[in-house]
Amino acid sequence: MRFLVALWLGTASLLWAQAQPAIELRNGWMYSADSGMVTGAFLVIQNRTNQPDTIVAVQSDCAEHTEIHTTVRNSDGTMGMRPLRELVVPAQKTIVLKPRSLHVMLYHLRRALGAGDRCRLVLKSKRYGDLPIELDVRR
């Protein structure tokens, strides 16, 4: 009987682990903006695996161009942004993209996006391919 319970628990654990995404994207949101303008997008990226992964690009059907940016302090003390070629997500780690830190810039919006709208973002992962997330638009 103990063997059957252990077998059942092992199988249930394996199935649960397989149901969990390797890279989880959550809490996605972006600022509202008019058509043709620029805005920022934010989310949480969690790597549930024992291997690092790399985000090499971002795409969105809402914008003509997207980039991952980091916020830096310029030599004159002002804050600025710098695009990143890629974003490494370490094994078993979570990265938070938030205002005045790591974020995604969306350039030349294809339509006006107001509070309550949604926008699809796709992160391109070296290991797992396309990682989509729906972003909520906020003011």
Chain segment 13-29, per-residue pLDDT in tens: 554 445 568 999 999 99
**Total of domains in the chain:** 1
Residue 6's pLDDT band (boundaries 50, 70, 90)? Answer: low
Asked if residue 1 belongs to a domain, the reply is no
Chain segment 75-132, per-residue pLDDT in tens: 999 999 999 999 999 999 999 999 999 999 999 999 999 999 999 999 999 999 999 9
* CATH number for position 77: 2.60.40.1890
Asked if residue 34 belongs to a domain, the reply is yes
Asked if residue 10 belongs to a domain, the reply is no
Q: SS3 for 43?
A: strand
Distance separating alpha carbons of residues 83 and 48, to the nearest angstrom: 26
Structural domain harbouring 26:
22-138
Distance separating alpha carbons of residues 107 and 60, to the nearest angstrom: 10
Asked if residue 16 belongs to a domain, the reply is no
